[in-house]
Copies of this chain bind each other. A is one copy, B any other.
Amino acid sequence: MTRPHPRLSINQATIKYASLAEALDVTREAGVEAIGLWREPVADVGLDAAVRLVSGSGLRVSSLCRGGFFTVPEGPERRAALDDNRRAIDETAALAAAGAPGSAAVLVLVAGGLPTGSRDLAGARGRVADAVAELEPYARDAGVTLALEPLHPMYAADRAVISTLGQALDLAERFPAESVGVVVDTFHLWWDPELFAQIARAGAGGRIASYQVCDWVTPLPADVLLARGMMGDGHIDFAPIGAAVDAAGYSGDIEVEIFNEAIWATDPVAVVERTVNAFAETVGLSAATGA
């Protein structure tokens, strides 16, 4: 087996059906140094137990997925969403503190889509900005960076009204870089003619809070939420994007996050081994090794 790249992080979503304990085990046993966590498997064991498991694993925590989903208008549903995001911020701080040195207290935020029945895209985007403004002081106090993730435009209606890196930066830049950054995800952004300019802009402002990789495969599957492919299986040229992210000054962990039924159906040990190898042959070829 290839020695894992020192900056490789296995995002838990890639091995979705593994429990937190299993995910930590297969990641550590493969020699991978970092993991990106999800709230649901953390909640399955409870935060205190999760903190102990993470602490005992010796792994770095590269992020917690995910908060957000705050496009609904003011009212009880919006208040509940914001309260839930505050809990996610607390969880992020606790889990990052439990991780090995070099862990990142980064909470990935997915904006949410249009509220049911609404066609007011500008309004939804405005409410995302309002939510970030409301959460930012709380995140700053907790030492957590909110990482705004632009999702592919094909999700704009039903999942995330933040669609480009430039748009995410326009919002992030209203706040201190320590508390609001962005996610660069190859799957969501590879097509963008402005990608390299916006990566440079993000780097200059110290805004790259997370770098996530996976491939764009065609034809898209029936459920486009599960369209993410293993690096090398699709159309993305990782070298220039990775070089741009490196040149922009990001030296943190690089998460592999793949939503894919076939990969989920595979034994997590095999998935991590395949991920280590695919990373080495694509992203790892050009990624600097010093974290």
- Which residues of A approach B to under 8 Å, CB–CB? 114, 119-122, 125, 152-154, 156-158, 163-164, 166-167, 170, 190-194, 216, 218-220, 222-224, 234-237, 240
Contact = CB atoms under 8 A, between A and B. Distances in A.
A285 to B, nearest CB: 13
B154 A154 contact: yes
Number of chain copies forming the complex: 2
Contacts of A193: 125, 163-164, 166-167, 170
A216 B157 contact: yes
Contacts of A222: 222
A190 B121 contact: yes
B191 A234 contact: no
Given A119-B236, A158-B218, 19 more contacts: A114-B235, A119-B237, A120-B237, A122-B240, A152-B153, A153-B153, A153-B192, A157-B218, A157-B235, A158-B219, A163-B191, A164-B193, A166-B193, A166-B194, A167-B193, A170-B193, A220-B224, A222-B222, A224-B224
